[in-house]
Amino acid sequence: MFIFDQTKPKLYTNLRHMFNIALFGPPGAGKGTQSKKLMKAYNLAYISTGDILREEIAEGSDLGLKAKDVIERGGLVSDEIIVQIIEKKIQGTPDVNGFLFDGFPRTVVQAYILEGLLLKLSTSLNCMISLEVPKELLLDRMMARSLKENRADDTSEVIENRLNEYKNKTLPVADFYKEKNIYYAVDGVGEVEEIFERITNVVEHSLTKEWLNVVLYGPPGSGKGTQGKLLAERYNLVYISTGSLLRREIEKGSDMGKSAKEYMEKGDIVPDEIAIKLIENQIKTHPDARGFFFKGFPRTIVQAYILDGLLRKLNTSVNMVINLDIPTLESVKRLSARSRTQNKRPYDKDTEVIINRLERFDEYSSPLMDYYSKQKAIHTINGKGSEEQVFNRITGIIDTAFKKLR
């Protein structure tokens, strides 16, 4: 379960790891009050289409001028302009845990637009929270606010029309998110703190659905297998080692194992279609998993794209890459030492094969590291030291990066 440290907000630099909320509710439901509390508690950036439209118009930007022209002619600002302004706002807001959308999307079309926009930015909407308040109470609240703020235009008839319009437009949107199983209705009646507690309960529940997927990377002999098993147990995740799975297929004498054997004996990379089948099978056999530790995959830039595709089917992604860094000479020493133990591999005995594996690793390492560096997902760890020392370094990075308790 992910827990945000509310006293020291976590600063995300990678959009794919953000937590995004849409807060819904009719006029008078108290969205403004609750939005401020959510922003502070979870370090979220606030996105209200009305506010950001006014900001763009005040700045005199190209988008603002387009919106101003439409408004002055009495028209409604198009979804095309709205989505560009939202994208600009998201990309121009660093150092937040995610975004809080107030009043957007208002229609099913806008819901699809938001899905596409967040997908483009490698993130997604995590939950849609709807504040439910009886119509009679809403009318009372808004009439009281009208009198207090001297809003002469806010007659009971106008207010009722606004409430009816909200209901008619947002019901289909609610159904859209119900189908995605991220819609949460929250009782909006009561004291401010009572309502906020109900909302945060929903947020915390939604956070428990977040996956953690970690790639363990490093040269042969860096200790990925040892650390992977320990880490999977520590964080209650599934450990997937393509090497172990391939050796199992070879022992069984399966067609897949026979195909893989000649590559592994030479220290070469097994064809991608074989690795894909193995990983897919492992994922299918763990339907209740909330994340994975991947060891031995990806090893190439193409495999990184493949893993992204496999995880995208599960509506998740790679969260971080732990790069175990050890000198080449250390790798050779460790692999040679392993060849004299019960855990030896067929390719550990031959120095030429060991060198070939290390050369292949170096050949594919740079583009793969560039790929994950652009996503700010890499954490390089000193792989030298005892198992416990290296394990503590890794868990320190994971715990710090994700601020979570499991």
CA–CA separation, 209 vs 85, rounded Å? 30
Task: Report the run of H or E that residue 206 belongs to, with start and end.
Answer: helix 192-207
Residue 185 has pLDDT above 50, yes or no: yes
What is the residue type of 131?
L
Q: Are strands 238-241 and 127-132 parallel, antiparallel or unpaired?
A: unpaired
Whether residue 383 contacts residue 222, with contact meaning beta carbons closer than 8 Å, is answered with yes
220 preceded by cis ω (within 30°)?
A: no
pLDDT: is 60 or 346 the higher one?
60
Cβ atoms 37, 115 nearer than 8 A:
no
Q: How confident is the model at residue 159 (pLDDT cuts 50, 70, 90)?
A: confident
pLDDT at 349 over 80: no
- How confident is the model at residue 388, as a pLDDT? 95
Instruction: With a cut of 50, say whether residue 9 has pLDDT above it.
Output: no
Among the listed residues 231, 175, 235, the one whose alpha carbon sits nearest the alpha carbon of residue 210:
235
The pLDDT of residue 129: 95
Pure H helices in 313-350: 328-338
Q: What is the mean pLDDT of residues 173-186?
A: 92
Q: Reply yes or no on whether the pLDDT at 70 is more than 50.
A: yes
Query: Are 329 and 265 spatial neighbours (Cβ–Cβ below 8 Å)?
Result: no
Q: Is 298 helix (H, G, I), strand (E, B) or coil?
A: coil
Phi/psi at 378 (5° precision): -90, 135
**The pLDDT of residue 294 is above 70:** yes
Average pLDDT over residues 35-61: 91
Mean pLDDT for all residues in the chain: 85
Query: Stretch 338-363: mean pLDDT, rounded?
Result: 82
Taking CA atoms, 278 is separated from 102, 220, 240, 268, 274, in Å, by 43, 20, 9, 17, 6
Q: Is the peptide bond before 271 cis (omega within 30 degrees of 0)?
A: no
- % of the chain at pLDDT higher than 90: 36
154 pLDDT tier (thresholds 50, 70, 90): low
- Structural domains of the chain, ranges and CATH numbers in brackets: 15-207 (3.40.50.300), 212-402 (3.40.50.300)
* Rounded-to-integer distance, Cα 21 and Cα 99, Å: 6
The per-residue pLDDT for 361 is 87
Question: Tell me, what's the pLDDT at 4?
Answer: 38
Q: Residue 23: pLDDT band by 50, 70, 90 thresholds?
A: very high
Res 12 pLDDT > 60: no
Does the structure show a pLDDT above 70 at 6?
A: no
- d(CA 259, CA 267) in angstroms, rounded, equals 14
What pLDDT shows up at residue 279? Answer: 92
Given a cut of 50, whether residue 314 has pLDDT beyond it is: yes
Contact criterion met (CB below 8 Å) for 295 and 239 = yes
Identify the three-state secondary structure at position 121. coil
State the average pLDDT over residues 128-137: 92
Which helix or strand (DSSP H or E) is residue 130 part of?
A: strand 127-132
In degrees and rounded to multiples of 5, residue 127 shows phi and psi of -155, 150
Other beta carbons within 10 Å of 115:
15
Q: Cα 45 to chain center, whole Å?
A: 16
198 touches 133 (CB < 8 A): no
Residue 401 pLDDT level (bands cut at 50, 70, 90):
low
Q: What is the mean pLDDT of residues 268-290?
A: 87
Number of Cβ atoms within 10 Å of the Cβ of 373? 12
pLDDT at position 96 is 86
Angle at Cα 28 formed by Cα 27 and Cα 31, nearest 5°? 85
pLDDT of residue 16: 47
pLDDT greater than 50 at residue 48: yes
Residues written for the chain: 406
Q: How far is CA 252 from CA 264, 268, 284, 342, in A?
A: 15, 21, 20, 19
